[in-house]
Chain A
Amino acid sequence: MATAVARVRVPARTLHSELRAIESVWRRELIRFSRDRLRLVTSLVQPFLFLFVLGTGLSRLASSGTHGVNFRTFVYPGVLCMAVMFIAMFSAASIVWDREFGFLREMMVAPVRRSSLVLGKCLGGTTVAAFEGAIVIAIGPLVGVPYTIALVLEVFALQLLLAFTITAFGVMAAARVAQMQSFMALTQMVVLPMFFISGALFPVSGLPPWLAVLNRLDPLTYAVDPMRRLVFSHLDISAAARRALDPGVTWWGWHVPTLLEAAVVALLGLVMLFVAILEFSRAE
């Protein structure tokens, strides 16, 4: 046997080797996602239900308050955010599977930084979630979203940011949660309340104080609000309708700028990524 052919020398750790590790962990997420057709389909059921069943049903009730705007168009930005959130959490859940099935060990003993593994996971989850988000973006015209190329790009960038932050949150949580059932319960417990409180289904001005406080504390608020602003900026509607349906988020009466909202989402994502790296580095 010609063993001399391929005796390997593993070189010392370099930035290049860390990048290769990040890329390979990222690629693995994509391969696994592409194999899992069922996940691709099931994860789209919820946004369709919200948009076409709930949206259509409620639009008959809500028509008096929407100033002529299609109710489905109104809930669309929130539903897009929710879809991205669910997918991002499911992607992060793969770490829990990896631990249960032992694969996490294979990665943890590799001579690479834990931060590379965590970053690769986060980027993988982000990519998968953004891909699903793109499908929801594609159905926008069906619910009256007047897409232009600029709007598609802006919406895509914003949902990419949200996907990253939620994946980072999921990975951070997965460092602590040992069982898949617990992680799924956590996902339900986190995503749905965040969705309902965020103002995905209602304008965020004039809320009762308790709900207003919860709403301003909900990170998803800062993704749904700019998302809606983006969509509404392309709608041809009256100033009154805009004021009523897209009032914007205020902090003690101060109108929070769109960029600052996006920055809040990004900052949260980075903080959680950092915590996730710490947690996985500690687990020696």
Chain B
Amino acid sequence: MFDTSATDPSEGLPPAISVRGLHKRFGDFEAVRGIDFEVATGETFGFLGPNGAGKSTTINMLCTLMKPSGGAATVAGHDVVRERDEVRRNIGLVFQDTTLDGYLSAEQNLRLHAELYGVPRETVGPRMRQVMEMVGLWERRASLVNTFSGGMKRRLEIARGLLHSPRVLFLDEPTIGLDPQTRSSIWNYISQLGEAEDITIFLTTHYMDEAEYCERIAIMDQGAIIVLDTPEALKESVGQDRVQIHTDDDPSAIAALRERFGIEAKMSEELVTFGVPLGEEFVPRLFDEWDPAHPPIKSVSVSRPSLDDVFMSYTGSTIRDAESSGGNDHLRHVARMMGS
């Protein structure tokens, strides 16, 4: 269905993640409806979609926390059902909700992790220092985790996820609930990681701007992968600039656009929104031909296609709209309970 080989940065190496017909059912609800994809070794791959799209369920299956209802998946070359231990040894996890022990110091949390993962004793010390320096927490190693801010906790979890040098790092909504500044600093760490460590990163997000950091993204909606490609290719596939105009009477402006220019406009972010191939050249024409009888245009903006537009063109709604209708907190909760 998707041609993944064209953008594969490391041809020849076996894929870090390979998924075939993966399925997950909760009762009669299909959370994941048979998805296929491959992630190349060393790639940063993102799952983009609204809450409730099935991203976390997929990640839970890949991390061996949940058994698939059907299909197969391998991570780091190991089957997620039959070779669970092998998979676990080769992956690092950063969950949506924090899984640190707040009553232990940062260092004690990491040490416990090293012990559980059987990291050789003589390498625990240097490795701990290395990952903590990477996320800028080495100075705070003796502090109780309870005294950390949300962003620091997330950074510590990333450090912990890396401690045992996993081949694949899973990040489930790594920046959810963080302020924009902290979000961008987390992303700095993640991008550095790709360079410093020989690691494949698989992440989920419902922030469009964050998906830009990924080498390839899969847009997921209602349990299925709608499209999978590089962010650039996806934006090109939309092929149109986005024009938004602000008027006093939006319905008649939409009608006017249809009659006069043959353009189907929609309301988005409370503005009349439509796509045209060359936005800048369209704007003068718009004003020339805009009938004085039409509601006057108060402002106009033109933008290159964003992932928002990609999402909209493939799913027919914005991610925020999809969220308010499709967000399924109950299922998330169920998934979490089963995950533990």
Contacts and interface: CB of A to CB of B under 8 A. Distances in A.
Question: Are chains A and B native binding partners rather than an unrelated pairing?
Answer: yes
Interface of A: 1-3, 5-14, 17, 20-21, 23-25, 27-28, 31-32, 35-36, 98-99, 101-112, 178, 283-284
B103 A7 contact: no
A103 to B, nearest CB: 5
A122 B112 CA distance: 17
B118 A103 contact: no
Contact of A109 (B64, B100, B111, B337): B64
Contacts of B89: 10, 12, 111
A32 B165 contact: no
Nearest to A98: B101
B196 A3 contact: yes
B261 interface: no
Given A24-B112, A108-B340, A109-B93, A101 B118 contact: no
A31 B104 contact: yes
A105 B165 contact: no
Interface of B: 63-67, 85, 88-90, 93, 95, 97-104, 108, 111-113, 115-120, 123, 126-127, 130, 134, 163-165, 196-197, 337, 339-340
A6 B97 CA distance: 28
A21 B340 contact: no
Given A31-B108, A102-B99, A8 B116 contact: no
B322 to A, nearest CB: 27
A101 to B, nearest CB: 7
Given A6-B130, A11-B118, A103-B99, A32 B340 contact: no
Contacts of B63: 109
Given A7-B165, A111-B85, A13 B130 contact: no
A217 to B, nearest CB: 34
24 contacts: A1-B134, A5-B130, A6-B130, A8-B123, A8-B163, A9-B120, A10-B117, A10-B164, A13-B85, A20-B115, A28-B101, A28-B112, A31-B103, A32-B104, A99-B340, A101-B98, A102-B97, A102-B99, A108-B65, A109-B63, A111-B85, A111-B88, A283-B340, A284-B66
Nearest to A104: B340
A257 B89 CA distance: 50
Contacts of B112: 24-25, 27-28
Contacts of B115: 20-21, 23-24
Contacts of B64: 109
A60 to B, nearest CB: 45
B102 A1 contact: no
Contact of B116 (A5, A24, A284): A24
Nearest to A178: B337
A5 B113 CA distance: 19
B269 to A, nearest CB: 35
The winner among B97, B115, B163, B339 for most chain A CB atoms within 10 A is B115
Contact of A9 (B102, B104, B113, B165): B165
Given A108-B65, A110-B117, 6 more contacts: A6-B130, A8-B127, A10-B89, A31-B104, A36-B103, A109-B88
Contact of A32 (B103, B119, B127, B134): B103
A172 to B, nearest CB: 17
B108 A3 contact: no
A8 B120 contact: yes
Nearest to A32: B103
A225 to B, nearest CB: 38
Nearest to B108: A31
B97 to A, nearest CB: 5
A69 to B, nearest CB: 44
Contacts of B163: 8
A31 B101 CA distance: 11
A111 B123 contact: no
Nearest to A8: B165
A284 B120 CA distance: 27
B95 to A, nearest CB: 6
Contacts of A104: 340
A10 B118 contact: yes
Given A35-B103, A108-B340, A10 B97 contact: no
A9 B65 CA distance: 22
A154 B101 CA distance: 36
Contacts of A21: 115-116, 118
A233 to B, nearest CB: 42
Contacts of A8: 119-120, 123, 127, 163-165
Contacts of A109: 63-65, 88, 93
B130 A3 contact: yes
Contacts of B196: 1, 3
B113 A106 contact: yes
A5 to B, nearest CB: 6
B333 to A, nearest CB: 11
Nearest to A22: B115
B302 to A, nearest CB: 42
Nearest to A20: B115
A108 B103 CA distance: 19
B131 to A, nearest CB: 9
A4 to B, nearest CB: 10
The winner among A24, A32, A99, A106 for most chain B CB atoms within 10 A is A106
B95 A11 contact: no
A5 B85 contact: no
Contacts of B197: 3
A8 B101 CA distance: 23
A6 B126 contact: yes
Nearest to A99: B340
Contacts of B113: 106, 110
The winner among A8, A9, A14, A35 for most chain B CB atoms within 10 A is A8
